[in-house]
């Protein structure tokens, strides 16, 4: 694909020094001011090797921080052998340039880091176009980084651009600008042409019950995902080799296999130029059967975070989707009364801890009940060599009886309504002789 993305900024597997400068209007987590940035950096695949925290009232036009602090950052970056310094703050293109003059490695700001994550997470064609557009618009003034990619597009060279490639002369930059401008126009046109409904119905077809983790970055989504899916998935996972760390199989009950997806997560004060691409990366949530909304109950701002997640979900048309609010990090909450009040304020919510597995059993029960809600009993007739069917039933159903004919087998199978509905779509040559609701 003709992609115009600053891959030289991708932070995968790079050693990162994190820098957070608190400003009077910053809304950082008082317990852990660098928590969100750390979580974002990890999501992008970076290895965090050092962290620095500072406060500043007035922004220095040259380095954002003062020149003394810039020197200090440079020293720490060198000592930690960092490949990249990531600022929690948004920097102007000139500041990035000046900082890179002092610090002997790549400098990224928060928006670029977020865009990098969006770019790696965007699943659909539409989402990719949207992220690319945002990257292009945001990085426009930083074009000296970009020329290698433009050259790749123009010249079709297969080689990957080197990290930290510095820009060419003014003439090259002029050409780049024109190419970039043209790409922006093309992207806008392409995005406008995509039929939203069509995208959703195609995406929505899936063989398994889909569960999606949503919530703020740093709330504990990935920790919970690991806790739930780590046990016992490896041995039987060959069939699902295409699944990655963002989506994994999760066996909720003996005959209940689901797909669990991790999302990028919401970000505090998301810069407005990133909002469209952020929404695009949430398409997984739109197509899920159940949402697990993870909130950090130990965060000072938890109620506002919950509210803003609800608001965005509503905008995405997910308001009536089945969901469970999980009040995570209960182990970290110092005031039990506060937790009780929070749980009472949100009916149906559950108090959990993803690190010490508190409340997890109960949560799984709850999920299971939702998946199984409205189970049906099917009487099926199929050729007994129908491998697809046997596989499907092994994943999704409890079999209660078999009756063998010369070529066929009649079976009684109990499964979730959603799985029964998908049966015809995924398994050829099976006849449903009877279908009735199960009272449990």
Binding site for ligand GDP (CB under 6 A): 39, 217-223, 265, 328-329, 331-332, 353-355
Among Mg ion, ligand GDP, none, partner that 135 touches (CB below 5 to 8 angstroms by kind)? none
Tokens of 424: 């015809």
Among ligand GDP, Mg ion, none, partner that 396 touches (CB below 5 to 8 angstroms by kind)? none
Minimal distance, residue 86 CB to ligand GDP, in Å: 15
Among Mg ion, ligand GDP, none, partner that 149 touches (CB below 5 to 8 angstroms by kind)? none
Nearer CB in complex with ligand GDP: 89/218: 218
Nearer CB in complex with Mg ion: 43/95: 43
Among all residues, whose Cβ is closest to ligand GDP?
220
Minimal distance, residue 268 CB to ligand GDP, in Å: 12
Q: Is 202 exposed, middle or buried (0-12, 13-18, 19+ CB in 10 A)?
A: exposed
| Nearest Cα to Cα of residue 217 among 18, 6, 29 | 29
Nearer CB in complex with ligand GDP: 274/354: 354
Among ligand GDP, Mg ion, none, partner that 395 touches (CB below 5 to 8 angstroms by kind)? none
Which residues contact Mg ion (rule: CB under 5 A)?
43, 221-222
Residue 74 near residue 101 (C-beta atoms within 8 A)? no
Residue 313 near residue 285 (C-beta atoms within 8 A)? yes
Minimal distance, residue 31 CB to ligand GDP, in Å: 10
Residue at token pair 């820098």: 19
| E-strand stretches of 62-149 | 84-87, 106-108
Among ligand GDP, Mg ion, none, partner that 329 touches (CB below 5 to 8 angstroms by kind)? ligand GDP
Among all residues, whose Cβ is closest to Mg ion?
222
Nearer CB in complex with ligand GDP: 216/392: 216
Minimal distance, residue 345 CB to ligand GDP, in Å: 20
Nearer CB in complex with ligand GDP: 303/331: 331
Minimal distance, residue 116 CB to ligand GDP, in Å: 15
Nearer CB in complex with Mg ion: 33/45: 45
Among Mg ion, ligand GDP, none, partner that 281 touches (CB below 5 to 8 angstroms by kind)? none
Among Mg ion, ligand GDP, none, partner that 332 touches (CB below 5 to 8 angstroms by kind)? ligand GDP
Distance (Å, whole) CA 234 – CA 247: 14
Q: Is 225 exposed, middle or buried (0-12, 13-18, 19+ CB in 10 A)?
A: buried
Nearer CB in complex with ligand GDP: 50/60: 50
Q: What is the DSSP string of 9-75?
A: G--TT-EEEEEEEE-TT----TT-TTHHHHHHHHHTT-EEEEEEEEE-SS-BTTTBS-HHHHHHHHH
Q: What is the 3-state secondary structure (H, E, C) of 223-290?
A: HHHHHHHCCCCCCCCHHHCCCCCCEEEEEEECCEEEEEEECCCECCCCCHHHHHHHHHCCHHHHHCCE
Minimal distance, residue 322 CB to ligand GDP, in Å: 20
Give the CA distances from residue 105 to residues 151, 158, 347, in Å, rounded to whole numbers and listed in that order. Answer: 23, 25, 49
């Amino acid at each position: 694909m003709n992609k115009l993305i600053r891959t030289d900024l991708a932070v995968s597997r790079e050693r990162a020094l994190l820098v957070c400068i608190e400003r009077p209007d910053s809304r950082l987590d008082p317990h852990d001011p660098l928590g969100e940035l750390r979580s974002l950096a990890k999501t992008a695949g970076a290895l965090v090797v050092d962290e620095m925290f500072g406060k500043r009232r007035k922004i220095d036009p040259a380095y954002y921080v003062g020149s003394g602090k810039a020197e200090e950052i440079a020293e720490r970056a060198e000592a930690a052998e960092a490949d990249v310094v990531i600022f929690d703050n948004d920097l102007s293109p000139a500041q990035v340039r000046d900082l890179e003059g002092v610090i002997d490695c790549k400098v990224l700001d928060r928006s670029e880091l977020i865009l990098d994550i969006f770019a790696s997470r965007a699943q659909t064609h539409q989402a990719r176009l949207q992220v690319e557009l945002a990257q292009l618009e945001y990085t426009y003034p930083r074009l000296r980084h970009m020329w290698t990619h433009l050259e790749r597009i123009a010249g079709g060279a297969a080689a990957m651009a080197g990290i930290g490639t510095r820009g060419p002369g003014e003439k090259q930059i002029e050409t780049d600008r024109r190419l970039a401008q043209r790409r922006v126009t093309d992207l806008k046109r392409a995005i406008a042409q995509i039929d939203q409904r069509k995208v959703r119905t195609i995406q929505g077809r899936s063989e398994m019950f889909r569960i999606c983790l949503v919530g703020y970055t740093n709330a504990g989504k990935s920790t919970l995902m690991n806790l739930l899916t780590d046990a016992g998935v490896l041995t039987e996972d060959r069939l699902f080799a295409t699944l990655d760390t963002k989506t994994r199989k999760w066996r909720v009950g003996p005959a209940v296999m689901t797909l669990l997806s991790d999302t990028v997560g919401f970000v505090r004060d998301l810069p407005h130029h990133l909002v469209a691409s952020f929404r695009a990366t949430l398409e997984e949530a739109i197509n899920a059967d159940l949402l697990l909304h993870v909130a950090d109950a130990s965060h000072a701002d938890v109620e506002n975070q919950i509210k803003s997640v609800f608001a965005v979900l509503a905008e995405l048309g997910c308001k009536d989707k089945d969901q469970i609010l999980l009040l995570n990090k209960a182990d970290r909450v110092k005031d039990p009364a506060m937790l009780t009040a929070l749980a009472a304020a949100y009916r149906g919510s559950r108090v959990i801890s993803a690190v010490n597995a508190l409340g997890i059993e109960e949560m799984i029960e709850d999920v299971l009940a939702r998946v199984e809600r409205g189970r049906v009993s099917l009487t099926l007739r199929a050729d007994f060599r129908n491998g697809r069917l046997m596989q499907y039933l092994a994943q999704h159903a409890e079999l209660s009886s078999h009756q063998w004919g010369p070529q066929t087998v009649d079976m009684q199978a109990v499964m979730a309504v959603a799985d029964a509905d998908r049966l015809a779509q995924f398994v050829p040559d099976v006849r449903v002789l009877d279908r009735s609701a199960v009272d449990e």
